[in-house]
Structure 1
Amino acid sequence: MKILVVSDTHGYIDDALLKHAQTADEIWHAGDIGSIDVLYKLQKITKVRAVYGNIDAADVRQETSKNLFFKVQNIPVCITHIGGYPGKYNADFKHYIQTHSPQIIVCGHSHILKVMYDETHSALFINPGAIGIHGFHAARTMITFDIENNTPQNMKVIEYQR
């Protein structure tokens, strides 16, 4: 199963993102979608699991949630927009993690690409950075990986100039 992880589109979608969406079995969007049209375009291509971010309006919030917990091939996954990162999670999300015990944690918001192992919670932490054009980030980034035999593997960072 191929997963595409994105965040912080801020209403921007281009051919590069659409190309990678077409090869994904699922897209995980970590918020600041920016426009309901972005969500709908991605949903026309493949299954989307998304949370809303701090810039998302009521229409996006009605279609998504603040936090999302699900399992893919028996791997528990948590997604939120503003969660922090290992050792620096905000209190609400830290409680959410402790309640759900995910093996994969996905956050957005910072526009900073970060992939690391969270030793405290025994989980893979992923922040895909920002794929949109709004913000301070120097490069637009997203992540792809495969889940095979209940194991994430073949992780790749995809980077584009702003």
Structure 2
Amino acid sequence: MKKIVIVSDTHIPIRAKKLPQILIDACQEADFIIHAGDWQTMDVYYEFAAYAETDGVTGNVDPWEISDRIGKSKILEFGGLRIGVVHGDGIRQTTEQRAFDAFREEKVDIIVFGHSHIPVMREVEGVILFNPGSPTDKRTQPQYSFGLLEIGDSWELKHVFFDKES
């Protein structure tokens, strides 16, 4: 069984000073971490990479050091499961539509995106659109969140919702 943590919009140190413990605990058990942008600093990348192999994309508030290192979109493959990753920022359309359109010509099973901080999991034209929300900046959402993907003989994708720790 492969465990993948999916996260976006960490915004450290602007919106939070550190990653929440529930996310750290999940990362310590992860085989891989996917980040869908708005890391804000390379230090966040290095922290995730200390727990598990980490990859992702740049967001609209990330500096050039992050953009040059990881790019704006990519496809990751895990045993035949193809995951498109993009932040989802831009003009016109909704964040979901921009994310979907980024991989319209590709064969992907899941599209991971961020930007809106709104947790989403729904199927569109046979593709699962998944926004993990934010573990550090929930904006108007009732809870903070990130995602977990477990891959074995089949795969299961879910959100992990939590309240701010004291």
Q: What band does the TM-score fall into relative to the shorter chain?
A: 0.7 to 0.9
Q: Which segments of 5 or more consecutive residues in structure 1 lack a partner in the other structure?
A: none
Q: Equivalent residue of 2:159, what SS?
A: strand
Q: Distance between the aligned counterparts of 2:24 and 2:65, measured in 1?
A: 22
Q: Distance between the aligned counterparts of 2:61 and 2:31, measured in 1?
A: 27
Identity %: 25
Q: Distance between the aligned counterparts of 2:100 and 2:162, measured in 1?
A: 30
Structural mapping, 1:128-139, within 5 Å: 128-133=132-137, 135-139=139-143
Equivalent position to 2:57, from 51, 54, 61: 51
Q: Does the CA contact (< 8 Å) of 1:80 and 1:108 recur in 2? A: yes
Q: How many residues align?
A: 153
Q: Distance between the aligned counterparts of 1:101 and 1:80, measured in 2?
A: 15
Structural mapping, 1:92-103, within 5 Å: 94=101, 96-103=102-109
Q: Which residue of 2 aligns with 1:115?
A: 121
User: 1:49-81 deviations in whole A, cap 9, x for unaligned?
Assistant: 210101111122122110011211111110000
1:134 offset after TM fit, Å? 6.8
User: Which has the larger share of strand?
Assistant: 1
TM-score (norm: length of structure 1): 0.85
Q: Which residue of 2 aligns with 1:142?
A: 146
Q: Which segments of 5 or more consecutive residues in structure 2 lack a partner in the other structure?
A: 90-94
Q: Distance between the aligned counterparts of 1:128 and 1:29, measured in 2?
A: 9
